[in-house]
Structure 1
Amino acid sequence: MLQASDTSDITIPSVFLAKNEYRALLYLSKIVDTPMMILLQLDDFITWPLLDILMIIFVSPSIIMIFIYISWQLRQRRRKQQEVAPIDVVSRLLMKQFLTEKVKENEAEECAICLEDYINGEELRVLPCKHDFHTVCVDAWLTTQKKFCPICKRDITFIIEKTTHLLQQNSQQAPLLIEP
């Protein structure tokens, strides 16, 4: 016989159930009419909270990092577009032919970008700061690298936009002639 003080070897497991689960188990026990044994497995209990924790720890920061990377790429692309000259601005720059007989004493006879000598009759692009370059060289420089003159670092888009704006103002402010 067991004594009241000797209860060390008795274990009574306890389980908390939702009302719907309790009713389902009660219904099944009435149908089967045999004692039912419920096996408690820790795998089911641990799996879902573990997945939730893993999702919070790994997936959420990954999504945030992807968002940050995409926004950084967009910002870089926008900044790159602001650093280069638009193609229409570059195409409006003046062009001239290089003639060896008309070369002045201080005028450059080689392209500062590719360092090749100008050939007689070759088309050169003249920037607003009066520096000459091969058309191919300076067009590639202005549309892919920077919108500044490679020699003096003057912004070519600012000068062209300013002169275009001044020309528009002058045409709007031209005096009207009244005939008598």
Structure 2
Amino acid sequence: MCRRRCFLAMMAAAPFLLFSQALVIERPCCHVADHVSAVFGSNVTNDVDYVRREVIAVEPFEACEGPIEQDLSGKMALILRGKCNFAWKVLQAQRANAIAVVVMDHTPRSSSEPWELQMIGDGNATEIHIPSVFVSHETGQAILGNITTGGPVLLTLNTTGNRTHAQRSHHSILEGIVLYVLSTSVMFIVLSGLCLVLTNIATWYQRTSRTRAARRLPLMAYQAKSDDEDLCSICLETFERETLVKVLPCRHEFHQECIDPWLENRSSQCPLCKREALDNASLVTPHFFAGFDTAASPFHMLMYGCMVLPILVVAIVVGILF
């Protein structure tokens, strides 16, 4: 009755097997699992030798230290990944007369984390002639659980849609490229927008601070002097007596409507002697921009820096992730 149920279950699973990667656990019936064939040893085939064969968990389970204790004649070996290379594990099982080897991953992984790994050979690989496959920790635990609960566990190992590491790598590379493009684009847009906002805020604050500093300069009624300094150096018009003029710290005088736009938009220095006319404490220009005369230059540099910043941040983040 059990054999009949297993046969019916396998018939129901047949359409799936045609399009999947198959390692079939036939007893207890029935489970289909993915596997990745090793690059060494013989290829997995549809030979009758690998149909409904008992699988044994070897001792020691990693098959690294000392020979395998069991006689695996006509059986498949279940071995845990870790402590030594794959070729040595398979060679140990072959010396114990195993006909095939199933190596299970030693680490549980989430559904989004790839487990696929193609086992690479070393110097021992030339001695190996049996096939071997790599399976996920979940698949290995299912096989191991069935072994420990009693009764033989039978496996059928075939080439039905055998999953290759190259196929998985192709998808991983494609997913990585898509993730890189999306993350780079989003981060660049967000950081560029943030830098643009901060630059505009800084520009506005500096401009208003210069305006406030210019308005704090004293206004005085013009008094004729003995010398000929009766012209505004900016508009070249003669000062009228008692006209309100703005006096800079260097004692040069200008029409208020002439000097205010100059100080706010062009330079914080006197147009005549180039002496600093505004209170430095009221300005927000950083000390490393002190060599620039114009108000716009520091913020042009800030804007250029903000254009480069997103690229640097994205490069660092992508380097950490990948």
TM-score (norm 1): 0.46
TM-score (norm 2): 0.30
